[in-house]
Chains A and B, each alone.
Chain A
Amino acid sequence: MASVSTNQFKGGLKFMLDGDPCSIIENELVKPGKGQAFNRVKFRNLKTGRVNERTFKSGDSVESADVMEVELEYSYTDGEFWYFMDSETFEQHTADANAVEDCLKWLKEQYVYTVTQWNGTPLLVTAPNFVNLAVTDTDPGLKGDTAGTGGKPATLETGAIVRVPLFMSIGEVLKIDTRSGEYVERAKDA
């Protein structure tokens, strides 16, 4: 496995630390005028998702991690694993509950997700910033309410519950921002 030196550290670089693949969030050079240099690194452990800090002596090397991001189409789940497909090679990839945890409520068949793979195994599945999902359950719409005051909860086809304006009814397709989990607007084309 290739090694990377601290002088190549930058945001987004993937490396191995204590056996886990990690991604650098921030790299800062700590160096008093004539003193020794260190790299203070804030990173995300891609297996646990936790953010941590670590100091390296400048010039030290770490092992680079074979981490890739690929775009895969979600196929189905058998309750234990979630199956994704490469739409060019039709190759199937299997993700476990850990990997899909954060985007479970945005998972819809045939949608394309960003899958972070380490040595070919999906580590993390990330939803696109916006998804269009149909409302499967909500209180009856209130005619005339266009001011959007307060809103009401609506259950979407993936099981996610979001606040929507009062006039929304079952069957409508909504554009949702997956980062904030908020309703954006009625989907223009479902």
Chain B
Amino acid sequence: MSTIENNWQPSAEIDTLKKRAQYLADVRLFFAERDVWEVETPILSQAAPTAPYLDSFTTDYIPIGTQTKQTHYLHTSPEFAMKRLLAAGSGSIYQIARVFRNGEQGKLHSPEFTMLEWYRPELSLNQLIDEVNSLLQQVFGFKPVCRLSYRGIFEFYLKLNVFSCSDEAIKHCAQQHITGLPEDLETDRDGWLEILMSYIIEPRLAAMNMPLFIYDFPASQAQLAKIKTDCDGYQVADRFELYINGIELANGYNELQDADELRQRFEHDNQQRIKHNKSIMPLDENLLAAMKQGLPECSGVALGLDRLIMLTLDKQAITQVQSFNC
């Protein structure tokens, strides 16, 4: 019933919201026991992420008594500010933050949602996966996790070596396996890989009844992770994604420390944005300066808390675990 009279009602049941509150308390306890301390960082920023397919909300800051407008951005994750804390010597930190992504609305998407993000200077990426695993088991009652490489998963489900095959082969594979892809659909190599992942692989992962970590992504999808050489000599991004029931839940990096390389990636992203007729994002010079001074070697992960609570409580849409839908 979505009549005007009923629109004021919460999108989640009160009982669900109470359970959500308990999960948040348990998450905080989990980190307190591990000496990871909670931080808060600003939602507003004068810089923004450059990722070509991530759209920040913008707003204007107008100093009192003036007409001048300064564009501010609502953060899409607390990553940049948390890395500045790490560079300043914070040690292990976590944050439960409201984050904002413009234009995203669906069963699994909301323009405003809750992110659990944490950084562990003393843990390797593998040890961080172990810690995510502990969190999933202890707080949310999931089974122990399974780990598969990105390459392995494409080989297993699609007989495709994603590191050696041509762009054409990936496109052909997608056209062959997926109904309803228009012939003139244009995208790049990573776009086709994402389509195969979303349409073919994720639905099959849904049948697995344990959380799955996918690691060693193509270097072109490195985002803010380090690039390394895998055992077969392929260049791979040292990052992972967590899937439960075929739903993408978390994204973890062995964090890139090289400020110059990060600047290059940001600039490359902005070139992509120009190609897609999107505005250029101002680089976070504070983050780059902090990294120049020295980001400690660390692993970090961002986890969509609404999706995790949705899965835990067996709900079908994240709005069913959020108090209100904006």
Tell me the A residues contacting B by CB distance below 8 Å. 7, 28-38, 40-41, 52-58
Q: Are A57 and B187 in contact (CB under 8 A)?
A: yes
Q: Which residues, 46 to 78 on B, are CB-close (under 8 Å) to A? A: 51, 53-54
Q: Are B194 and A55 in contact (CB under 8 A)?
A: no
Q: Are B178 and A55 in contact (CB under 8 A)?
A: yes
Q: Are A29 and B197 in contact (CB under 8 A)?
A: no
Across the A-B interface, give the 5 residue pairs with the lowest CB-CB distance, nearest first. Answer: A29-B106, A53-B180, A54-B180, A35-B194, A30-B198
Q: Which residues of B contact A54 (CB under 8 A)?
A: 180, 182
Q: Which residues of B contact A31 (CB under 8 A)?
A: 53, 104, 106, 109
Q: Which residues of A contact B109 (CB under 8 A)?
A: 29, 31
Does more than half of chain A's interface fall in helix, strand or loop, or is it mixed?
A: strand
Tell me the B residues contacting A by CB distance below 8 Å. 51, 53-54, 103-109, 178-182, 185, 187, 190-191, 194-195, 197-199, 223, 241, 248, 251
Q: Once bound together, how far apart are the Cα atoms of A28 and B199, in whole Å?
A: 12
Q: Once bound together, how far apart are the Cα atoms of A30 and B195, in whole Å?
A: 9
Q: Which residues of A contact B179 (CB under 8 A)?
A: 52-53
Q: Are B105 and A29 in contact (CB under 8 A)?
A: yes
Most chain B CB atoms below 10 A, which of A29, A31, A56, A57: A31
Q: Once bound together, how far apart are the Cα atoms of A57 and B192, in whole Å?
A: 12
Q: Which residues of B contact A56 (CB under 8 A)?
A: 182
Q: Are A32 and B198 in contact (CB under 8 A)?
A: yes
Select one of B103, B104, B106, B194 contacting A36, CB under 8 A.
B194
User: Given A36-B187, A37-B53, A55-B178: A7 and B248 within 8 A (CB)?
Assistant: no
Closest Cβ–Cβ distance, residue A2 to chain B (whole Å): 21
Closest Cβ–Cβ distance, residue B7 to chain A (whole Å): 17
Q: Once bound together, how far apart are the Cα atoms of A161 and B248, in whole Å?
A: 51
Q: Which residues of A contact B107 (CB under 8 A)?
A: 28-29
16 A-B pairs (CB sep. < 8 Å): A29-B106, A30-B198, A30-B199, A31-B106, A32-B194, A32-B197, A32-B248, A36-B53, A36-B187, A36-B194, A37-B103, A37-B104, A38-B198, A53-B179, A54-B182, A55-B195
Q: Are A34 and B185 in contact (CB under 8 A)?
A: no
Q: Are B248 and A33 in contact (CB under 8 A)?
A: yes
User: Given A32-B194, A36-B191: A55 and B106 within 8 A (CB)?
Assistant: no
Q: Are A7 and B103 in contact (CB under 8 A)?
A: yes
User: Given A28-B106, A55-B185, A57-B185: A35 and B180 within 8 A (CB)?
Assistant: no
Q: Which residues of B contact A33 (CB under 8 A)?
A: 241, 248, 251
Q: Once bound together, how far apart are the Cα atoms of A35 and B180, in whole Å?
A: 20
Closest Cβ–Cβ distance, residue B103 to chain A (whole Å): 7
Q: Once bound together, how far apart are the Cα atoms of A146 and B130, in whole Å?
A: 67
Q: Once bound together, how far apart are the Cα atoms of A31 and B76, in whole Å?
A: 15
Q: Which residues of B contact A58 (CB under 8 A)?
A: 103
Q: Which residues of A contact B182 (CB under 8 A)?
A: 54-56
Q: Which residues of A contact B187 (CB under 8 A)?
A: 36, 57
If A33-B251, A34-B54, A37-B104 are given as contacts, then 20 extra A-B residue pairs at C-beta distance below 8 Å, sorted by A number, are: A7-B103, A29-B108, A31-B109, A32-B194, A32-B197, A32-B198, A33-B241, A34-B51, A34-B223, A34-B251, A36-B53, A36-B187, A36-B191, A36-B194, A40-B199, A52-B179, A52-B180, A55-B178, A55-B180, A56-B182
User: Given A7-B103, A28-B107, A29-B105: A35 and B190 within 8 A (CB)?
Assistant: yes
Q: Once bound together, how far apart are the Cα atoms of A40 and B180, in whole Å?
A: 9
Most chain B CB atoms below 10 A, which of A31, A34, A53, A56: A34
Q: Which residues of B contact A53 (CB under 8 A)?
A: 179-180
Instruction: Kindly report which residue of chain A lies nearest to residue B49, judged by CB atoms.
Output: A34
Closest Cβ–Cβ distance, residue B162 to chain A (whole Å): 15
Closest Cβ–Cβ distance, residue B48 to chain A (whole Å): 13
Q: Which residues of B contact A37 (CB under 8 A)?
A: 53, 103-104
Closest Cβ–Cβ distance, residue A177 to chain B (whole Å): 24
Q: Are B180 and A38 in contact (CB under 8 A)?
A: no
Q: Are A29 and B53 in contact (CB under 8 A)?
A: no
Q: Once bound together, how far apart are the Cα atoms of A32 and B54, in whole Å?
A: 10
Instruction: Kindly report which residue of chain A lies nearest to residue B269, judged by CB atoms.
Output: A34
Q: Which residues of A contact B251 (CB under 8 A)?
A: 33-34
Q: Once bound together, how far apart are the Cα atoms of A172 and B191, in whole Å?
A: 63
Closest Cβ–Cβ distance, residue B308 to chain A (whole Å): 14
Most chain B CB atoms below 10 A, which of A7, A32, A54, A58: A32
User: Given A34-B54, A36-B53, A38-B195: A29 and B181 within 8 A (CB)?
Assistant: no
Instruction: Kindly report which residue of chain A lies nearest to residue B108, judged by CB atoms.
Output: A29
Most chain B CB atoms below 10 A, which of A29, A35, A40, A53: A35
Q: Which residues of A contact B104 (CB under 8 A)?
A: 29, 31, 37
Closest Cβ–Cβ distance, residue B96 to chain A (whole Å): 18
